[in-house]
Structure 1
Amino acid sequence: NLRDFGDGSLGIALDEVTTADDVDNLFKVFNRGAPPEFTTRGLSERGGAPELPVWARRTTPYLEHEVFNRYHSETEMLRYLHRLESRDLSLNTSMIPLGSCTMKLNATSQMAGVTWPEIGRLHPFAPVDQARGYTTLFAELEQWLAEISGFVATSLQPNSGAQGEYTGLLTIRAYHEDRGEQQRNVCLIPASAHGTNPASAVMAGMKVVVVKSTDAGTIDLVDLEAKASEHGDDLAVIMVTYPSTHGVFEEEIRDVCRIVHEHGGLVYLDGANLNAQVGLARPGDYGADVCHINLHKTFAIPHGGGGPGMGPICVNEKLEPYLPGHPMHRVGGEKAIGPVSAAPWGSASILVISWAYIAMLGPDGVRRASELAILGANYMAKRLEDHFDILYRGDNGLVAHEFIVDLRPLKRGTGISEEDVAKRLIDYGFHAPTVSFPVIGTLMIEPTESEPKEELDRFVDALVSIHAEIQQVEMGTADATDNVLKNAPHTAAMCTADEWFHAYSRSQAAYPTDWTRAFKFWPPVRRVDNAYGDRNLVCSCPPVEAYAEGEAE
């Protein structure tokens, strides 16, 4: 495809996959379909091509890092990649119980599509008639997501959950402005909200007002009513997460929506925890006007290593006209806001993963996934309640798909912190849960539906064993500072050193259970200073001296 600028000029883009035959075909097009008297290869062999202009020539060295010059065969490269892989505790080692992250299995059958050239090699601005399969995929996925969430329309454009929040808030602003209520710019946000919520609201030009939480971790309806009344004429929206970030279903979610609607505002539902309600509850049915869906959580797109994510938004009839448009393709509503990402359907090539997830599971399967996620979390919470405090539960004594373990009482009595427990879990072969979010001094655990009961039991057994280790500190049978928790994690280099100066054995350090003897994940490094690392960024590229030398030149 060539780009027609409309003024008689054309844009031609060539890249590393363009072949000489491609260029020859292009010459043929400009020669009215007849082969020209020359070929690309002939021109190359003849020479005489104009030199690259000075301004386009690179003057700085490149690929100087040692890693680019060390591995010169496939054997060496494969071994290098495997060494890197072996340093990472991933889902192929054990469960990753990160709360509020939904680290479920990314099934191979769902992932296969991203490797197909029909999926991966199509330009995002290609004419629609050349992407009929893609347009079918878009239409079906938009319909499925709208049906799952209880809305009427979907935009696949947002590239992340936070971008979905931002997009949803922009549609709400457009809705109010279209009604002549430009003054509505107040966004109510519960104290338990995800950190991205206030950031997205500010980005969308709104004023954030915080709503208190009750001691049970739910939205304080009295405070909500007061804030909604106080800002009634200016109220634009409330951003609410369901189930809440505290891991409980808000029993009063319909009342929350009603109060905001009565004061002229709309309801934004943060879909971060949608994995607890697919096939069980629909945001559009209990009062939300818009929600975003983290396809990289609930619908199986991988999100380790930072992405890519997808955060489509689903909306009701009020907001459908304002869904984002795009200058290159006809997408969005009749009164569309501007595009929120570079491509009209966002990171389109990974949508095939979520399409495959829903298509293969079907309505019964996606519902079953949510049921198992909730069941697994409640099973673990029940087993752990005799050893740790479970911070929040619903009125029925149950949690949602995740729960919070409160370690603050143990810390006060022993000095053992949530970080110590998280690091000790590595010795047991587990990735840590979410630490100190949304409550400082806690661990947030989310098992997902992907884990069998045996793995849930193994993780619970690890925490129960760690609780016994904490009790040893509490009773004085283990040193308060030199113990298996304060020194965790224990590396192979540490445990095999010639000298051992600790009050506990190497066996206690490295092999706390039978399963760690059968298969041991060795952490590549010991504990790092998190605060120092956050405040002192260290480049892993060429040494700092290399940059100093460049400046001197």
Structure 2
Amino acid sequence: MTHRSSDDRAPEATPFVRRHVGPSPDDQRRMLDAVGYTSTDELLRAAIPETIGAHDGLNLRPAATETEVIAELRSLAAQNRRMRQMIGLGYHGTDTPAVIRRNVLESPAWYTAYTPYQPEISQGRLEALLNFQTVVADLTGLDVAGASLLDEATAAAEAMTLARRATKITSPVFAVDADVLPQTLAVLRTRAVPLGIELHVADLADPANLPAEYYGVLLQYPGTSGRVTDHTAVIEAAHAHGAQVAVAADLLALAVLRSPGEMGADIAVGSAQRFGVPMGFGGPHAGYMSVRKGLERMLPGRLVGVSKDVDGNPAYRLALQTREQHIRREKATSNICTAQVLLAVIAACYAVYHGPDGLRAIAHRVHRRAVLLAEGLRQRGIEVDGEAFFDTVLARVPGQAADVVAAAAELGVNLRLVDADHVGVTCDETTTVGDVLSVWRAFGAEQSGFSELEDAPDALPAALVRTSEYLTHPVFHEHRSETAMLRYLRRLSDMDYALDRGMIPLGSCTMKLNATTEMEPISWPDFADIHPYAPEDQTRGYRQLVGDLETWLSEVTGYDAVSLQPNAGSQGEFAGLLAIHAYHADRGESHRDVCLIPSSAHGTNAASAVMAGMRVVVVGCDDDGNIDLADLDRKIEANADRLAAIMVTYPSTHGVYETGISEVCAKVHDAGGQVYVDGANLNALLGFAKPGKFGADVSHLNLHKTFCIPHGGGGPGIGPVAVRAHLADYLPGHPLAADAKVGPVAAAPYGSAGILPIPWVYLRLMGGPGLTEATAVAVLAANYVAARLSPHFPVLYTGNKGLVAHECILDLRGITKDTGVTVDDVAKRLIDYGFHAPTMSFPVAGTLMVEPTESEDLGELDRFCDAMISIRAEITRVGEGEWPVADSPLSNAPHTAAMVTGDEWTHPYPRSLAAYPAGRHAGKYWAPVRRIDGAFGDRNLTCSCPPPEAFGS
């Protein structure tokens, strides 16, 4: 390996690299002294096995300045043609209230937060997610809603599998309404094949079209054609058969239409995109799912619930966490481990700001625009299909549809070309009178005013007009003014701990700098307002950006082809395994269905393998945390004829560079299998090793980790899949194309394309040397933390010469055995010191996994280490009997301001130690609640906004 040392960094590093990488050259030398090396090059040579580390560096464009990069990106954005988007297909123009755009979407207090696994310091975003769940549950008329899913199509696929779990019917047939969104149908087909599910597509407006045997049904409401149908009869027929029914419903339409729950549906799915979330060329958007009572424990993804803290105060937390199905590994029913939190928060805030009356008014205005548009077409002799619709008009123009769509485009309006004879026109919140006039012109109708059409009746069937109330909770009525909304958003964000407050040292999750320059472009209208199915000549800028990223990601990973479609790491895993399965099938080896997975792997690996139709065989790890090569040999021999793949994480889940990785790859290849390297830890390889060159065939990459897309409180994310040339033909297909060898895994062609500018900017700002520098300093920081803390907490796993990779695992099991102090106690006590806890009990129970990243400066690294050392001293005082373990600063943590300022203090340690264990400092973060009782909340499940009197105490 040839890499520069830290001594060479100062003259080579660009201004941005110096700002992205926290430790200065002088700080790096101090850290290297503590670790025992003279340069980062020497350190990385020692840590990374020589067998994987030799390559020619990163052949990327030279790093540019922030000013230059923004100018380049503006040039790309200008190549996108902004149109009035009336295509529909589940993507709509929407107005994001400025108070929400500036104070949520563009606020690091919201977008740099981590998943709320430490609920005491996540109360703000948990309240916002509870609001989201309440919005979805109320509008869909069902009992329980989750905290968001990835998009509408994947939510429908999750409903398809949930329905199968919830019924006793053994039939593999799932009935799908022919009026379902086409991209949803495509994703359903992708999911159905490996699970042995058969899709029966028919016009289900008539219950007579249900198949003879089936276990579940999916309906669209309103349909893709715009048709609004009363589904009560087909739902009743399905229930009489014993089947489960899911309805994919438009949330805004439900403000004026009877809810799926009132029709009898068991499940509702859809997207919250039109609640203030920009189209962004397809995402990210918050998918949703709600269910009737009795199905809540089968929900995929996350569920926010209400519990109480130790003082009895109501407090929010993730409920039924074991119901995050991926934790169950190969027994999982879903591989979803993330949500679209930031987007769900925006949608919830949109509903809070507008309230039920505002939503109803917006929905009515949208409907009236569609009614007037349709009536104007009819009066001009153009046939409109269907009498009942909400926002979409289907016009029949035999043989002229393409001409109409082209004429509308010349007028700045995009319409949907349904077929040679039909044009779809969808109105939304942003549709103006001028847009309607333009559409009439495109159809060749003469322009006129609206006065003669104002008396046209609504097109909603009387039986389907909504009469039930929704959003009755005070939170949806108290924030009409911008002043009130601004203060509400500030109150919520003040309750949370995010990266803008301090270090979040989570192992495996890479909470590093999300630079403002990287984040700014996602709000630019030329990126935000583009429809994913707009014509190609209108999206040249996006396509160039996508092409750049595919090329650059191929270069840094050593692979030959990349798909950016997967909108989460879990979906990237699924796509990679589908590629492997299809590759084997094309070679006449479809019987290869065994996937070897190390026991240390993340739970999504096993869950994804099962979803891809594979059988999981677990490979053990040795005492050092490495893959047990002897056990690997045994498992390969036992499954030689059926071996499809092995899934490994590199560096390993234990945070070390396993020396045997090349041998692992060779053994699996010799047995006819493919090698999947989980790219979750790619940030420890960039510039030093390429998975595609050291033996891997496929990887998914976490752009929300290595490439600086922020976690957003638990989403958005992007998990592109990268493959070697022989697998390139098996990457996910376009959602509207029928000729792909493997179908799509997300609703939009490029997944969450709206946040692709973030990694594009990061890669342009860093260049090859900058990425290499980031990797080197990340590994240095992890080894520095390990060196400082190893005298106080054993470091569980190490690799070459006692070194770790980008993270280290601190073993507290012996401490817990000797003193009774648990990892949970340490995690909560860190809050008092001003930190988010490291990852608890993964991959080993009773441990803390620490990942400092390259972006934290030496002062913050030392502050964390000092806090951990101080906590170790507190543990010693417990162990020596000075404090009882049940009434110590650790067991009582976190200490709230209300607790330490109360009139009574009966604890055996002083208030000052409780509140300021590291000494008084400006900007002290106070947890809003004390430790939360998760078990109580699971026994008393409350998943929507509790009444105000619950907070009376």
* TM-score normalised to structure 2 length: 0.55
1:394-405 residue pairs with structure 2 within 5 A?
394-405=799-810
Q: Could you tell me which of 372, 384, 390 is aligned with 2:795?
A: 390
Question: Given residue 520 of structure 1, which amino acid in structure 2 is its aligned partner?
Answer: K
Match of 2:763 in 1: 358
Residues 542, 56 of structure 1: CA spacing in aligned structure 2 closer, same or farther, 3 A cutoff?
A: farther
Which stretch shifts more, 4-13 or 396-405? 4-13
**1:8 is the counterpart of 2:416:** no
Q: Could you tell me which of 19, 25, 43 is aligned with 2:432?
A: 19
Question: Given residue 443 of structure 1, which amino acid in structure 2 is its aligned partner?
Answer: L
Contact 1:246/1:438 (8 A) holds in 2? yes
Q: Distance in 2 between matches of 1:411 and 1:112?
A: 46
Contact 2:827/2:838 (8 A) holds in 1? yes
**1:409 is the counterpart of 2:814:** yes
Q: How far apart are residue 279 of structure 1 and its match?
A: 1.2
Which stretch shifts more, 375-384 or 72-81? 72-81
The superposition leaves residues 344-397 of structure 1 with CA deviations (integer Å, 9 ceiling, x where unpaired) of 111111111111111111111111111111111110000001111000000211
Q: Distance in 2 between matches of 1:366 and 1:21?
A: 49
**1:539 is the counterpart of 2:952:** no
Question: Given residue 279 of structure 1, which amino acid in structure 2 is its aligned partner?
Answer: G
Match of 2:861 in 1: 456
Q: Distance in 1 between matches of 2:595 and 2:585?
A: 15
Q: Distance in 2 between matches of 1:258 and 1:329?
A: 36
Q: Provide the alpha-carbon RMSD of the alignment.
A: 1.7
Q: Distance in 1 between matches of 2:431 and 2:740?
A: 39
Q: Distance in 1 between matches of 2:475 and 2:642?
A: 56
Residues 54, 305 of structure 1: CA spacing in aligned structure 2 closer, same or farther, 3 A cutoff?
A: farther
Q: Distance in 2 between matches of 1:70 and 1:122?
A: 33
What SS does structure 2 have at the residue aligned with 1:306? coil
Q: Distance in 2 between matches of 1:233 and 1:544?
A: 62
Q: Could you tell me which of 529, 551, 558 is aligned with 1:143?
A: 551
1:58-207 residue pairs with structure 2 within 5 A?
58-207=466-615
Q: Structure 2: where are the runs of 5+ without partners?
A: 1-413
Q: How far apart are residue 335 of structure 1 and its match?
A: 5.5
**1:517 is the counterpart of 2:928:** no
Contact 1:267/1:289 (8 A) holds in 2? yes
Q: Distance in 2 between matches of 1:191 and 1:80?
A: 45
Q: Could you tell me which of 327, 332, 336 is aligned with 2:741?
A: 336
Q: Could you tell me which of 23, 29, 38 is aligned with 2:442?
A: 29
Q: Distance in 2 between matches of 1:199 and 1:280?
A: 30
1:258-407 residue pairs with structure 2 within 5 A?
258-328=666-736, 336-407=741-812
Q: Distance in 2 between matches of 1:416 and 1:43?
A: 77
Q: Distance in 1 between matches of 2:507 and 2:941?
A: 27
Which stretch shifts more, 480-489 or 66-75? 66-75
The superposition leaves residues 229-256 of structure 1 with CA deviations (integer Å, 9 ceiling, x where unpaired) of 1101000000000000101011111000
What SS does structure 2 have at the residue aligned with 1:443? strand
The superposition leaves residues 100-156 of structure 1 with CA deviations (integer Å, 9 ceiling, x where unpaired) of 111111111001111011111111111111000001001000011111110110011
Contact 1:429/1:520 (8 A) holds in 2? yes
Question: Given residue 303 of structure 1, which amino acid in structure 2 is its aligned partner?
Answer: H
Contact 1:156/1:312 (8 A) holds in 2? yes
Q: Distance in 2 between matches of 1:294 and 1:174?
A: 23
Moved over 4 A (4+): 542-545
Which stretch shifts more, 257-266 or 526-535? 526-535
Q: Distance in 2 between matches of 1:262 and 1:535?
A: 51
Q: How far apart are residue 540 of structure 1 and its match?
A: 3.2
Contact 1:125/1:328 (8 A) holds in 2? no
**1:256 is the counterpart of 2:256:** no
Question: Given residue 538 of structure 1, which amino acid in structure 2 is its aligned partner?
Answer: T
Q: Structure 1: where are the runs of 5+ without partners?
A: 546-553
Q: Distance in 1 between matches of 2:631 and 2:745?
A: 34
Which stretch shifts more, 51-60 or 358-367? 51-60
Contact 1:3/1:12 (8 A) holds in 2? yes
Q: How far apart are residue 73 of structure 1 and its match?
A: 1.8
Q: Could you tell me which of 449, 453, 467 is aligned with 1:39?
A: 449
Q: How far apart are residue 437 of structure 1 and its match?
A: 0.6
Q: Distance in 2 between matches of 1:242 and 1:409?
A: 28
Q: Distance in 1 between matches of 2:420 and 2:471?
A: 40
Question: Given residue 180 of structure 1, which amino acid in structure 2 is its aligned partner?
Answer: G
Which stretch shifts more, 492-501 or 55-64? 55-64
Match of 1:529 in 2: 933
Residues 205, 536 of structure 1: CA spacing in aligned structure 2 closer, same or farther, 3 A cutoff?
A: farther
Q: How far apart are residue 304 of structure 1 and its match?
A: 3.0
Question: Given residue 451 of structure 1, which amino acid in structure 2 is its aligned partner?
Answer: E
Residues 342, 428 of structure 1: CA spacing in aligned structure 2 closer, same or farther, 3 A cutoff?
A: same
Q: Distance in 2 between matches of 1:338 and 1:297?
A: 26
What SS does structure 2 have at the residue aligned with 1:319? helix
Q: Distance in 1 between matches of 2:860 and 2:492?
A: 25
Question: Given residue 759 of structure 2, which amino acid in structure 1 is its aligned partner?
Answer: S
Q: How far apart are residue 479 of structure 1 and its match?
A: 2.2
Contact 1:211/1:223 (8 A) holds in 2? yes
Residues 335, 26 of structure 1: CA spacing in aligned structure 2 closer, same or farther, 3 A cutoff?
A: closer
Residues 534, 153 of structure 1: CA spacing in aligned structure 2 closer, same or farther, 3 A cutoff?
A: farther
Question: Given residue 214 of structure 1, which amino acid in structure 2 is its aligned partner?
Answer: D
Percentage of pairs with the same residue: 58
Contact 1:329/1:344 (8 A) holds in 2? no
Match of 2:172 in 1: none
Contact 2:473/2:947 (8 A) holds in 1? no
What SS does structure 2 have at the residue aligned with 1:4? strand
Q: Distance in 1 between matches of 2:806 and 2:940?
A: 36
Match of 2:89 in 1: none
What SS does structure 2 have at the residue aligned with 1:346? coil
**1:426 is the counterpart of 2:836:** no
What SS does structure 2 have at the residue aligned with 1:517? coil
Residues 534, 250 of structure 1: CA spacing in aligned structure 2 closer, same or farther, 3 A cutoff?
A: farther
